[in-house]
Amino acid sequence: MLFAVDIGNTNIVCAVFDNDSLTAQWRIASDTRRTGDEYTSIVLSMMRDSSIDLGSMDKAIVSSVVPDLIGAFVTVAQRVCRTKPYVMTSALSLSKKLPVSLPEGSTHELGTDLLCNAVAAWQKFKCANIVVDFGTALTLTITDSKGIIQGVDIAPGLRTAIYALASNTAQLPIVPLEAPPSTLGSTTKEAMQAGVVLGYKGLVEYLIKQVKIDLQNKTGDKIEDIRVIATGGLNSVLKPLTDCFEYVDKELTLKGLKAISDFVQ
């Protein structure tokens, strides 16, 4: 069985795959002050609570956008699987090991989480696509019909935007990420929700529309053939407000990790 770890800025998602089946997953707060021993204790406890057969764990893969936590989860993986994990790096996006990659000769780097998204989307659709990931950052990863990752867009995530307002002003509080009745905010809460939640609806819809145009102009891929996939923990905030997503999968990054493990291990 595969132990897959996706380390994000806010949460760490640990998962267990039995062949292609995602059998369990857990979320832990990202905390660079914790040691590998501490995280090992947490992970082993969660696995035992989920009746995971530790004797069947024989492979591990780690993706991280927090470099300071990689060492801790190498320790975790070695304790859980009794083998060294495969640690993804941005260089993998320039290799020929995967079905998608950055353009040949590119000097750019791609976050390993975004590479996971691109691989999973390609495995699902095998066509030009845009993955919109609602996490600490809001990202769009754009892949053409030949599996070339043509670009990425990055904006502050929904919760990041709310926290930025609350922490940088004297009287604005943290408010729930919910759509208000209208853009005519009559309370501070509704005013912030209108600006952030409804504002992000416009931001996402505009970016998707323009990305499709730009991708068609650059590669010849037809706008109507470009699939749009949403993922990330906060995708549910905008999902009821827009019809721009053709497919929603909160486990997309984990599925990409699993697919990458199959390609490289």
Q: What average pLDDT does the structure give for the chain?
A: 95
Q: Which comes out higher in pLDDT, residue 187 or 233?
A: 187
pTM to 2 decimals?
0.94
Active-site entry in 6, 113, 133, 249:
113
Determine the pLDDT at residue 235. Answer: 87
Q: Answer yes or no: 113 catalytic.
A: yes
Overall average pLDDT of the 142-161 stretch: 97
For 90-107, the pLDDT digits (tens) are 899 998 899 999 998 888
Determine the pLDDT at residue 138. Answer: 96
Determine the pLDDT at residue 214. Answer: 98
Question: pLDDT-based confidence at 80, cuts 50/70/90?
Answer: very high
For 199-232, the pLDDT digits (tens) are 999 999 999 999 999 999 999 999 999 999 999 9
Rg of the Cα atoms in the chain: 19
Angle at 159 between CA 154 and CA 163, to 5 degrees: 110
Question: pLDDT-based confidence at 88, cuts 50/70/90?
Answer: very high
Overall average pLDDT of the 129-144 stretch: 97
Determine the pLDDT at residue 108. Answer: 80
Determine the pLDDT at residue 234. Answer: 86
Q: What percent of the chain has pLDDT over 90?
A: 93
Determine the pLDDT at residue 107. Answer: 81
